[in-house]
Amino acid sequence: MSTQRKSAKPRRDIHAEITDKLIAAIEANPSEPTLPWRRISGPLFMPVNALTGNAYNGINVVALWVEAEVRQFATPIWGTYRQWAEKGAQVRKGEKASHVIFYKEYEADPDPSDANDDGKRRVARASAVFNADQVDGFTPPDDPEPLGPIQRNEAAEHFVAATGARIEHGGQRAYYRPSTDHIQMPDEGLFAGTDTMSRDESYYAVQLHELIHWTGASHRLDRQFGKRFGDAAYSAEELTAELGAAFLCSELGITQDTRPDHAQYLAHWLQLLKDDSRAIFTAAAKASQAVAYLKGQLPLEQRCSPAFHYRRLSAHLKRRRKDL
């Protein structure tokens, strides 16, 4: 008797799913597109795991920022169903999960034509997580030491100084020049504040963007995007710098506002994301690598630990509860 094999279930493309969500979030308001990691509704925080207290990395930061912005989550604490149970909390019935990616390693036969192939391969796997706003029985941690604007500016200043980057001031443009290996910043007097951002925060946000570019020098990370990106390599580098600056702004407590050239870059980034569903993963990975490199230049006691994220987050939540 002949039997028919059931049609194979289409393989899930996690990279495309997350990229599509990012594109949808950017295009949610066609008349005024915005990036999900630029929030005007409140401060931006690195998403952290509820059980371990560790901050998420790479594309998971972007993916969870997108979910939080689109679904209006106010608390950047996430965990799997089991992790929330271990915390004594319960995910509410009917709540929809978000997804983060982890990579599982396996062994394969090395490519005989590639001397550097050690046979190790990685495959992306998705893990379902829920935001703290989706659970009952969880109280965010309290901390008596709020980090105010002055402290946040001081933290950024110490961070940048500790990297040893050569920074000069003058003119009206901000850029990193590889030939002289220095960052050029406009005079501080040219930076103006906005309704959501002080002039100091504006200054440091731009400086951190250029600092990410600085890490890509050939004698540092030697950041290359290869033939795959072709003419889009410049856009990929700018996207990496934008993500890296967003990561650092979040960790240092700096509100990140839109730049004057935001619309121009956004058009290039949207096209890049639509052409290559893995582009955002590459950019996020390289941004995290750049941030890790910069942190590696700091004294150990100045590096941001999980406790740092919880202290800043709990101080914000405490102030928010007082306002309710």
pLDDT over 70, % of the chain:
65
287 HSE (CA, 13 A, CB side):
29
Total Cβ atoms within 10 A of residue 132: 21
- At 223-260, the pLDDT tens digits run 988 666 666 777 788 888 888 888 888 788 776 654 54
Q: Is the pLDDT of residue 211 over 90?
A: yes
Pairing verdict, β 120-131 and 98-107: antiparallel
Burial class (CB in 10 A: 0-12, 13-18, 19+), 311: middle
Beta strands in the chain (DSSP E): 48-49, 77-79, 90-91, 98-107, 120-131, 135-136, 167-169, 175-177, 182-185
pTM exceeds 0.85, yes or no: no
Q: Is the pLDDT of residue 170 over 80?
A: yes
End-to-end CA distance of the chain: 70
Beta-carbon contacts of residue 210 (< 8 Å; ≥ 6 apart): 174, 175, 176, 183, 184, 185, 241
Q: State the chain's mean pLDDT as an integer.
A: 76
What radius of gyration do the chain's Cα atoms show? Answer: 21
C-alpha to C-alpha distance for 166 and 237, rounded to whole angstroms: 20
DSSP state of 11: P
**Chain centre to alpha carbon of residue 11:** 27
Note the pLDDT of residue 129: 96
Q: Which of 24, 9, 113, 107 is nearest to 69 (CA)?
A: 24
Q: Which two tokens stand for residue 169?
A: 């001031």
C-alpha dist (Å) from residue 24 to 19, 20, 70, 130, 265: 9, 6, 9, 20, 17
Q: Which of 315, 320, 323 is nearest to 141 (CA)?
A: 315
Q: Which sign, positive or negative, has the C-alpha torsion 238, 239, 241, 245?
A: positive
- At 279-288, the pLDDT tens digits run 888 888 898 9
Query: Would you place residue 93 in the very low, low, confident or very high pLDDT band (cuts 50, 70, 90)?
Result: very high
146, 322 in Cβ contact below 8 A?
no
Helices 14-26 and 262-275, packing angle to 10 deg: 150
Q: Which sign, positive or negative, has the C-alpha torsion 207, 283, 35, 317?
A: negative
Beta-carbon contacts of residue 235 (< 8 Å; ≥ 6 apart): 229, 265, 268, 269, 271, 272
List the beta bridge partners of residue 177. Answer: 182
Beta-carbon contacts of residue 60 (< 8 Å; ≥ 6 apart): 47, 100, 101
Query: Would you place residue 41 in the very low, low, confident or very high pLDDT band (cuts 50, 70, 90)?
Result: very low
The domain ranges of the chain are: 14-323
Reduced to 3 states, what is the DSSP secondary structure of residue 119?
coil
C-alpha to C-alpha distance for 21 and 13, rounded to whole angstroms: 13
